[in-house]
Amino acid sequence: MRAVVVRRFGGPEVLEFAEVPVPAPGPGQVRVKVAAAGVNPVDAGTRSGFLTEAGIIPPRERIGIGWDVAGTVDVVGDGVTGFAAGDRVIGLLDRPSAALGAYADFAVLDADAVTAAPRTVSLVAAATLPLNGLTAVQALDLLDLPPGSTVLVTGAAGAVGGYAVTLAKVRGFRVAAVADTADEALVRGFGAELFVPRGDFLADRVRAVIPGGADAALDTALLRLEALDAVANRGRFVVFAAGAAPIPLRGIEVEHVWIAADGAALARLATLVDDGTLTLRVADTLSLAEAAKAHERLAEGGLRGRLVLTKE
């Protein structure tokens, strides 16, 4: 089968379009014929060697690329009863050091990392949900705050940030969104009650609308201390990238969300897609053979939604 891998680290040019053996599912696993794979910043971090430098991926001869999978079940392994060949599914490959990733014709996943794809959207759109949706869910889980608490979301127009705004509102939080001025209507549509344009002196401007500061912040834009300063004393702060944790000043509890596959939580997200609560955003589609071009576009920034690689 075809798969995109890296054997050395560097820019998009090191992505190798290779012919590799089709993987076989083991007990408790399913093999998925991949229809679409999301393109995420973590993929660029794998390709560039950043995750290896950070101690997240050990050096190895070949590393697969891609976490988000959408497609149809091809083969089920021993002991799998919840899926059958032909089922439309989505799932998350959460082992960044694996020899094969989602950028491939087929992917093998643990059955508990997979769920039925949303019924109301295409598999291309569904491929944008697993990593970013689960990241937002697990970040909100870390807050452990009561309904009515005020949560600041930086990068609220981004893929993770947009989901975080909507899911925070679903949990009964009062959401303050930080984004570009041009994105105010967008993030308010996601569910933000308050809006603060990004820019200088962010903490002062947040505190002008939230006296004393927010109860918590989800710092998807990696603003670090700038966002921490907008949080109230003894509040909560969640970071989304290795090395992005600020010093926990003023008794603020700083947590890092380390994503884990979770088919049950993914199923709940799919339900929110089907009932219209959660909006999926595809920035553009490219073929699997255009993975390097997709990484170039990811590096350029300015995307609204995720790029998706397809089989065509």
Do 77 and 93 reside in the same domain of the chain? yes
Residue 181 CB burial class (10 angstroms; 0-12, 13-18, ≥19): exposed
Do 153 and 84 reside in the same domain of the chain? no
- How does pLDDT run across 143-195, given as a tens digit for each residue? 989 999 999 999 999 999 999 999 999 999 999 999 999 999 999 999 999 99
Do 142 and 233 reside in the same domain of the chain? yes
pLDDT band for position 301 (50/70/90)?
A: confident
How large is the average pLDDT for residues 112-128? 98
Do 15 and 29 reside in the same domain of the chain? yes
- How does pLDDT run across 207-225, given as a tens digit for each residue? 999 999 999 999 999 999 9
Residue 266 included in any domain: no
Domain containing residue 224: CATH number:
3.40.50.720
Are 113 and 262 spatial neighbours (Cβ–Cβ below 8 Å)? yes
Do 88 and 188 reside in the same domain of the chain? no
Do 80 and 178 reside in the same domain of the chain? no
Do 84 and 141 reside in the same domain of the chain? no
Domain containing residue 50: CATH number:
3.90.180.10
Do 20 and 103 reside in the same domain of the chain? yes
Do 52 and 100 reside in the same domain of the chain? yes
Do 154 and 124 reside in the same domain of the chain? no
Are 108 and 71 spatial neighbours (Cβ–Cβ below 8 Å)? no
Residue 273 included in any domain: no
Mapping DSSP to helix (H, G, I), strand (E, B) and coil, where does residue 26 land? coil
Residue 276 included in any domain: no
Do 147 and 117 reside in the same domain of the chain? no
Pairing of strands 114-116, 88-92: antiparallel
Q: Which domain holds residue 46?
A: 2-129+281-310
Q: What is the pTM of this model?
A: 0.95
Do 108 and 176 reside in the same domain of the chain? no
Read off the tokens for 270: 């799919």
Give the chain's length.
312
Residue 1 has pLDDT above 80, yes or no: yes
250 Rama sector, left if φ>0, alpha if ψ -120 to 50, beta otherwise: left
Q: In percent, how much of the chain has pLDDT > 70?
A: 100
Residue 110 included in any domain: yes
Q: Can you tell me the distance from the alpha carbon of 9 to that of 12, in angstroms, rounded to the nearest whole number?
A: 9
Residue 242 has pLDDT above 90, yes or no: no
> DSSP H helical segments within the chain, as ranges?
41-48, 50-53, 123-126, 130-143, 159-170, 184-190, 202-209, 225-228, 263-274, 291-300
Residue 262 included in any domain: no
Q: Across the chain, what does the average pLDDT equal?
A: 95
Residue 312 has pLDDT above 70, yes or no: no
Residue 173 included in any domain: yes
Residue 248 has pLDDT above 80, yes or no: yes
Residue 136 included in any domain: yes
Our CA angle for 147, 152, 153, nearest 5°, is 115
DSSP 158: S
Residue 306 included in any domain: yes
- How does pLDDT run across 252-284, given as a tens digit for each residue? 999 999 999 999 999 999 999 999 999 999 999
Identify which of 22, 305, 15 has the alpha carbon closest to the alpha carbon of residue 183.
305
User: What total of structural domains would you count in the chain?
Assistant: 2
- How does pLDDT run across 62-90, given as a tens digit for each residue? 999 999 999 999 999 999 999 999 999 99
CA dihedral 232, 156, 65, 55 (to 10 degrees): -20
